[in-house]
Amino acid sequence: MNELLVDRRDDGVVVLTLNRPDRRNAMTEGMTESWRRAIADLAADRDVRCVVVTGAGNAFCSGGDLSWLAERGAESVPALRDRMLGFYRTWLAIAELEVPTVAAVNGAAVGAGLCLALACDLVYAAEEARLLAPFTSLGLHPGMAATYLLPRAAGVWVAREMLLTGRTLTGAEAASVGLVTRAFPRESLLGEVLEIASRTAANAPVATRLTKVALAGGGHADLDAALRWESLAQPVTMASDDMLEGLAAQRERRAPRFGNA
């Protein structure tokens, strides 16, 4: 079975579906390798406008495959360090894509699976989805940038509760504390996300890529850095045909027809 499904839609949206529903889409080495190739392909493809990540079946992703952890073998700490760094970097390469990325958290998002969702630019969850990061109850230090991604998304108090006590949030609770962008009823989640992704994909590609890059990682560190970036990036878009097309479309009350990235 293909553990990662890649669906390229006509509107420039690509849907990546983690596909091990019987194991709640737990990450294996095979899935990780498929992910590495898929992200590299997307990074090189100028026709891609937006990437959606979701899970097959009733879960988003249950994190690292527990059977791999249980059968850890005799690997040394330095060897495990290299392996884990490679694992984290492969999955979090989604954060390096220049196009907007959207997580559709259709069900449980656990540990590294939750971090994968939080590495996306927008995160929408099913209201009843369970979101948790139970590393320490498994005897593990958090990984997959959990100690960075959770406080950044939800603030220190919620992040500490999730990482120290193992608190589980529903999708609705996660939306109310700002851990995710918004929650939808499970049955309408994917439709809503595809609609949002399609709208995002219809915006001017260069302006969208530059905006995504500016916002990645939480935005610029200070006012001056933001002004310096914007005073370079905004003129790039002012000089583009896309801006003329956007203005004409607004004037003529029609949808814009933008060029390629």
Ligand X SMILES: C/C=C/C(=O)SCCNC(=O)CCNC(=O)[C@H](O)C(C)(C)COP(=O)(O)OP(=O)(O)OC[C@H]1O[C@@H](n2cnc3c(N)ncnc32)[C@H](O)[C@@H]1OP(=O)(O)O
Site residues (CB under 6 A) for ligand X? 23-24, 26, 58-59, 62-67, 108, 110-112, 130, 134-135, 138, 140, 143
Torsion of the alpha carbons at 180, 186, 191 and 193, rounded to the nearest 10: 10
Evaluate whether 106 touches 53 at the Cβ level (below 8 Å): no
Please report how close the Cβ of residue 108 comes to ligand X at its closest, in angstroms.
4
Give the residue with the Cβ less far from ligand X, 49 or 130.
130
Min dist CB 20 to ligand X, Å, is 8
Residue 210 and residue 235 in contact, taking contact as beta carbons nearer than 8 Å: no
**Residue 232 one-letter amino acid:** L
CB 27 → ligand X: shortest distance, Å? 7
**Which amino acid is it at 116?**
L
**Please, which residue, 99 or 115, has the CB nearer to ligand X?**
115
CB of 62 to ligand X, least distance (A): 3
> Any residues with CB less than 8 A from the CB of 210 and at least 6 apart, and which?
233, 236, 237
| Min CB(71)–ligand X separation in Å | 11
Nearer to ligand X by Cβ, of 68 and 229: the residue is 68
C-beta closer to ligand X: residue 111 or 246:
111
- Give the 3-state secondary structure of 30-85: HHHHHHHHHHHHHHCCCCCCEEEEEECCCEEECCECHHHHHCCCCCCHHHHHHHHH
Residue 31 or 48: the one with the smaller Cβ distance to ligand X is: 31
Looking at the DSSP bridge assignments, the partners of residue 232 are none
Q: Is the dihedral of CA 138, 144, 146, 150 positive or negative?
A: negative
Query: Distance between CA atoms of 61 and 154, rounded to whole angstroms?
Result: 20
Report d(CA 155, CA 178) in Å as an integer.
8
Q: Measured from the CB of residue 188, what is the shortest distance to ligand X in angstroms?
A: 20
